[in-house]
Structure 1
Amino acid sequence: MHSSAVEVLSVAVAEKPRRRWYTVFALSVAYLIDSMEGYTLQFLWPYMYPALGIPVANLAILQSIGRVVSAITGPIWGYVADRASRKAILVVMTGVWGLWTAAKGFANSFSQLLLFATLAGIGLTVLEPAALSLLSDLFGRKERGRAIGFMIGAGFAGSLISVVILGAIAEGNTEAWRYGFITIGALSFLSGLLLLGINEQPRGSAEPEISDVVTAETAPKIEPQLIAQLLKIPTWVINMVSTNIDFTGFAILSAWAFTWIVELDMGPMVQVAMLAMMLGTVLGHLGFGWLSDHVDQRHPFHGRVAIGQIAFIINLASAIGFLVLGSRSVLLLSTFGMLFGLSFALKGSGAQLPIEQNVLPPELRATGRALGSWISAFVTAGGVGLSGLLLTRLDNDLQRMMLIMVPLPILIGALVWIPLFRTYRRDMAALEARLSDRRAAISQ
């Protein structure tokens, strides 16, 4: 029994798929542009609403409707990605569909902007579940953190680049913000061409229990009745609830922080603070994915869970510091901003995403991610919408609103996370047993 397992592992190590790092690169570029697309509205908003003559609080409506549309379509795309070609879905919906973002640049009214934002939102939930599922079939459990971290880090680099590029574009004149949308839409289309060369392996190819026997014909595919099994995986449920509550705080901060920083009127260097936060997020994803893989190899049952708990504590403290002390100086704003970004990345690439992929069967990975994003879209849409209402009641005091709406979700997410110390080990063992049974069935 032991020698058989060693043989399986040796085959998995010896036969690493071709172009797997090109695939990471291509997905990372697509994620970078997708992230730029997702952040374009909020970065250009300070320049847009005066030009279009609409209230500043309407940003909450646009942000919320995009999340609701994504929530409606997200589970559908996840299910399709667990049955059909993930590569084809990514090329069409991540690449070609991005042209709707370019259309926002031609909007002349709030109703037109709302229409284009709604259409663009249909494709914004495709990339992450399909890409994570695909990467999990190219990289084993001990390497997923670095692959996921590289891709997610590139995604957040998109937000970093957005601040520099979009800010420079929008400063040109009152109508220059339009070129920002047109540029990002064109880049999204070009990313679809890059995705034509990615390597899509059969589902389950990176699992040592079945890696040497699974083929495109025998690879598991999702069936409608299997979706309910997600609720029987405690780690997935706890991780999903914790992550979605926690992400609401990040979504609210990212939606309003840029506008708040502009309002601080602390001079031209104030934008460095947002760059510091985004740079921290990018560097954190790139580095902590590797770190979490190393910790996981030494402490496979509790290492990633402990990393997540530590990250929650740092993230909560840095969010409060950013909002309370940041208005005193650009240095404090930048320091706490970077610490917030680093700790947020540590939660994601270091714990939340690898843990999710490590407990889900291959045929449920895209659906599990999509359902998590589906719930997140409703939760964050409600949170961002509530932030807009609260902002109005607080006489547009952004700092007071964010001090209420940002730290609380992070604290709740940290408390919900604690039971994973008990469930993660059990659910990993259950998946290994399930895959071993599947190997026996395929080999017959």
Structure 2
Amino acid sequence: MPELSKGPAQTVAGPPGTPVQVQGRWRQLSLLGGTMLVDSTEASLVSSLFPLIRQSLGVSLGALGILTAASKIVGVFTGPFWVWAAQRWSRKSVLVVATGLWGLWGVAAGFSQNFTQLVILYTILAAGYAAANPIITELIGDLFGSSSRGRAIGFVYGAISLVGAVIGPLKGQLAGVDEGWRWGLWGIGGFNILLGIALLIWFRDPGRGASEQQLADLDRTSREAVSKLSWDKAFSLLRIRSLVILLVSRLLSGHLLVGTFAVVFLVDVYGFSTQRASLIILPFGVGYFLGTLLGGFAVDRVSRRNPRSGPVAVLQAAQFAFAVLAYFGTQFRYDSILVFGALFALIGAAQGMNPGINRPMVMAITPPELRGAAFALYASIAEAIAWAGYSLGAGFLADAVGLRVVFLWVLVVLMLVNGLFLTLLYRTYAVDTARIQEELDTRRRDVLADPR
């Protein structure tokens, strides 16, 4: 019979029904959050400083759509590759290389002499960063049990947004520096390399299934023996109805456009300067931070009280709230940037609720070994296609009909459609979560019954 976890193992399982505690989970989470923070900051740098890039390299607004689309499309291919590599070697080594040392490409992008060079180097940079979302989210699922995943993800995405909000106006001030966008890429790329070294030294992978009640007290070898990924298992993801619905919903997530075009929207539509328009990044980030905390706590709470439909209702409400707030925040002219700041704070809060809700929902309907592949589908493919499509389309449509019209259809109308579409989850989510719990129960019985 396999031995139970003991000694310096990283999981502490209490009596049946009590939450599993992975030792050092918050310390490990801080390292993972720091990595995602730098990756997302570098990814948003180009969009927030695009007015400078446009002036420096002599390109049109459509170039922003090309940059964003290229960086997202490449993740469709490299995201699943990094998940495979993490299964083949280790999640830690992939993160060290792909999201840490890969910052060298960010430094190189800062030396671009024309738009073609910037597109190529920025796309290569994004190819590595595509590893962060699926692998780190998978790791969070192994560090935290089902009763605390919402809060953990909320803290990570909230901290990323909050720090990014503080950095945002600082990035905007690079507009006053000659070729300031280059200094931004150099600085963040260098800091990312340092974080890669920190991951190499201090990060400890708890192993797949470490936070599952049924598997936590098994030794790591036994846990991972029953959690090996195969092609059959990977393709079985598409048979999970709730996951397919969430994937389609991600394709309908027009709110992804805000992070790319918010600053240039205020510059082009309402005539603010780049430095003044970039000031909304702070309230938007603070709102997003509060939204992630609210979403995380809400999904943990409703999952305990009403696990069958509670998370679905909270996710659906977030889409409707975003659409209403986006209408008032983008379709009316306000003379003061402070009014826009207040409205974008509320928009950020509605958008920020999503990660703390949808990520735990994906975890709840997939077994441990498939979560990385599920998040590759969800973030690296579906989200990337949506982001690329909206960014590329918005960039060119804005040249023809204006960003205000684009925002109306994508941020308001499409998000209302998204909220209505999520109604389908009421028929599938409870069934899919129950199936996963039954599968984990079976695995535990099989492992403990093995006489070897």
Residues 31-70 of structure 1 aligned to structure 2 (within 5 Å): 31-70=36-75
* Among candidates 75, 84, 108, match of residue 113 of structure 2: 108
Aligned to 1:252: 257
Query: Given that residues 101 and 196 in structure 2 are in contact (C-alpha distance below 8 angstroms), is that contact kept between their aligned partners in structure 1?
Result: yes
Distance 1:99 1:408 in 2: 40
Identity rate, percent: 30
TM-score (structure 2 length as normaliser): 0.90
Q: 1:110-166 deviations in whole A, cap 9, x for unaligned?
A: 111111012112112111111111111111100101111111122223531342221
Amino acid in structure 2 at the alignment position of 1:221 = K
TM-score (structure 1 length as normaliser): 0.92
Change over 3 Å in CA distance of 1:356–1:14 after alignment to 2: closer
Per-residue deviation at 1:23?
Answer: 0.7
Q: Are residue 191 (structure 1) and residue 195 (structure 2) matched?
A: yes
Residues 308-327 of structure 1 aligned to structure 2 (within 5 Å): 308-327=315-334
Unaligned ranges ≥5, structure 1: 1-6
Amino acid in structure 2 at the alignment position of 1:426 = V
Change over 3 Å in CA distance of 1:417–1:14 after alignment to 2: closer
Query: Given that residues 34 and 155 in structure 1 are in contact (C-alpha distance below 8 angstroms), is that contact kept between their aligned partners in structure 2?
Result: no
Distance 1:361 1:74 in 2: 19
Query: Given that residues 103 and 193 in structure 2 are in contact (C-alpha distance below 8 angstroms), is that contact kept between their aligned partners in structure 1?
Result: yes
Distance 1:325 1:332 in 2: 11
Aligned to 1:300: 307
Distance 1:214 1:244 in 2: 39
Amino acid in structure 1 at the alignment position of 2:125 = A
Per-residue deviation at 1:318?
Answer: 0.7
SS at match of 2:21: coil
Change over 3 Å in CA distance of 1:412–1:182 after alignment to 2: same
Q: Are residue 121 (structure 1) and residue 126 (structure 2) matched?
A: yes
Residues 230-269 of structure 1 aligned to structure 2 (within 5 Å): 230-246=237-253, 249-263=254-268, 264-266=270-272
Q: Are residue 403 (structure 1) and residue 405 (structure 2) matched?
A: no
Amino acid in structure 2 at the alignment position of 1:364 = L
Amino acid in structure 2 at the alignment position of 1:67 = K
Unaligned ranges ≥5, structure 2: 1-11
RMSD: 2.1
Aligned to 1:4: none
Query: In the comparison of the two structures, how many residue pairs are matched?
Result: 432
Per-residue deviation at 1:83?
Answer: 4.6
Amino acid in structure 2 at the alignment position of 1:192 = G
Q: 1:177-197 deviations in whole A, cap 9, x for unaligned?
A: 210100010111111122231
* Among candidates 147, 158, 168, match of residue 173 of structure 2: 168
SS at match of 1:300: coil
Per-residue deviation at 1:372?
Answer: 1.5
Query: Given that residues 287 and 347 in structure 2 are in contact (C-alpha distance below 8 angstroms), is that contact kept between their aligned partners in structure 1?
Result: yes
Distance 1:78 1:261 in 2: 38
Q: Are residue 330 (structure 1) and residue 337 (structure 2) matched?
A: yes
Distance 2:207 2:258 in 1: 39
Amino acid in structure 2 at the alignment position of 1:200 = D
Change over 3 Å in CA distance of 1:83–1:355 after alignment to 2: farther
Query: Given that residues 39 and 162 in structure 1 are in contact (C-alpha distance below 8 angstroms), is that contact kept between their aligned partners in structure 2?
Result: no
Q: Are residue 274 (structure 1) and residue 281 (structure 2) matched?
A: yes
Aligned to 2:9: none
SS at match of 1:294: helix
* Among candidates 212, 215, 235, match of residue 207 of structure 1: 212
Query: Given that residues 78 and 368 in structure 1 are in contact (C-alpha distance below 8 angstroms), is that contact kept between their aligned partners in structure 2?
Result: no
Q: Are residue 180 (structure 1) and residue 178 (structure 2) matched?
A: no
